[in-house]
Structure 1
Amino acid sequence: MANIDLIFATNNANKVKEIKAVTGNHLNILSLKEAGIEIDIPEPHDTLEANASEKSRVIHAITKKNCFSEDTGLEVFALNGEPGVKSARYAGDTRDFQANIDLLLHRLSNKVNKTAQFRTVISLIWNNQEYLFEGICKGQINADQKGSEGFGYDPIFIPDGSSKRFAEMTMDEKNKFSHRKKAMQQLMSFLNTKW
């Protein structure tokens, strides 16, 4: 599977870093910037699947090349799955991570159940056909923010099986639990059958 170029339809450097840590030398992952594409693709839909599909289809239409995208949401069960598909813009279109965390903790403050999950959906367009893959990481929300690694809700999310928040983990530690890694491993297993 070496030497396969695959465009990752994102401008998020943190996501690119996480994906490259999973794929290693097996795939040549190109961010939009690395592929010479300057575009900010909207995420107008109400499901992770539809947003992921939108992004990969836009990039495929531009490049006619194999590509993939992902959409990830934090789903908090006591809040009926919020922030979910709106995770990055939970507190508004500014994508302010701290404001998002503050709003989530405020809405969760009187709830007993702090169970949550990160869910990633990847849309891969390979040889002009689309395939979807999903990765889930279950855990708990803890209002005591810790750590400086990662991004988004990582300072308040503790995955099941760990006492550390994602933001306290190295990339290798996070990838033992990561929803994004689980979805990406499915994509890589799929490509192994095609290559």
Structure 2
Amino acid sequence: MELIIAASKNANKIREMNEITAKLGLHIISRDEAGLPDVEIEEDGATFEENSFKKANEIMKLSGHIAIADDSGLEVEYLHEAPGVYSARFAGEDASDEKNNEKLLSLMEDLPYRDRRARFVSVITMVWPDGRKLVARGECEGHILTEPIGENGFGYDPLFVPDGYQRTFAQLSAEEKNRISHRAKALTRLAEMLKGKE
């Protein structure tokens, strides 16, 4: 198995990645598991692509290994695509998922369902020590509910109902979510690109 170091410290993201990439012979470990120093990588890019590349490139330079980074977030049409790249810190720098969800709901109060369109976006970048890189983007369209429902998932999952479903991401099983999520689509695209490189 080829070892790849993830820029993320988010165990949920790494688990989702591994569930999809394991069948490609790739094993992703966190930067902590790789024993890398706990450097703060400032996510100051204006796009998911910029942040994703910056994180992967920093980890590759630190480790000398292939590195992978995901930058993802929620874009709400009514809020002019906010929170976007600020999704994780929407309610402040160290905001919890609950605080971010509360802020989002307060900004969309009394909005009818048809106007609550949103999409999850994931951009995954893989960087090699020899300078090669692959960038894959995935999107999942849906709507935002008026209250959180479901115990699975993380982030905005309890508020997001993907198109064609009656349940939120937080109500879907890992298998169901991994078939349709933005991250799954980005990873599937990345897998296709990797196969093309072989």
Same fold (TM over 0.5): yes
Inter-partner Cα distance in structure 2 for 1:144 and 1:66 = 40
Match of 2:83 in 1: 83
- The residue correspondences of 1:102-117 to structure 2 (distance < 5 A) are 102-112=102-112, 113-117=115-119
Asked whether the equivalents of residues 105 and 147 of structure 2 are also in contact (C-alpha less than 8 Å), the reply is no
Inter-partner Cα distance in structure 2 for 1:74 and 1:162 = 18
Match of 1:57 in 2: 57
Matched residue count: 193
Inter-partner Cα distance in structure 1 for 2:35 and 2:190 = 24
TM-score normalised to structure 1 length:
0.94
Identity of aligned residues (%): 37
Matching of residue 159 in structure 1 with residue 158 in structure 2: no
Inter-partner Cα distance in structure 1 for 2:20 and 2:14 = 10
Inter-partner Cα distance in structure 1 for 2:146 and 2:16 = 25
Gaps of 5+ in 1: none
Where does structure 1 differ by over 3 angstroms across 4 or more consecutive aligned residues?
A: none
Matching of residue 144 in structure 1 with residue 168 in structure 2: no
RMSD across aligned C-alpha pairs, in angstroms? 1.3
The structure whose residues are more often helix, as a share, is 2
Asked whether the equivalents of residues 78 and 111 of structure 1 are also in contact (C-alpha less than 8 Å), the reply is no
Asked whether the equivalents of residues 36 and 63 of structure 2 are also in contact (C-alpha less than 8 Å), the reply is no
CA-CA distance at 1:186 after TM superposition = 1.2
Asked whether the equivalents of residues 66 and 128 of structure 1 are also in contact (C-alpha less than 8 Å), the reply is no
Residue among 3, 7, 14 paired with 1:9: 7
TM-score normalised to structure 2 length:
0.93
- The residue correspondences of 1:168-179 to structure 2 (distance < 5 A) are 168-179=171-182
- The residue correspondences of 1:113-132 to structure 2 (distance < 5 A) are 113-126=115-128, 127-132=130-135
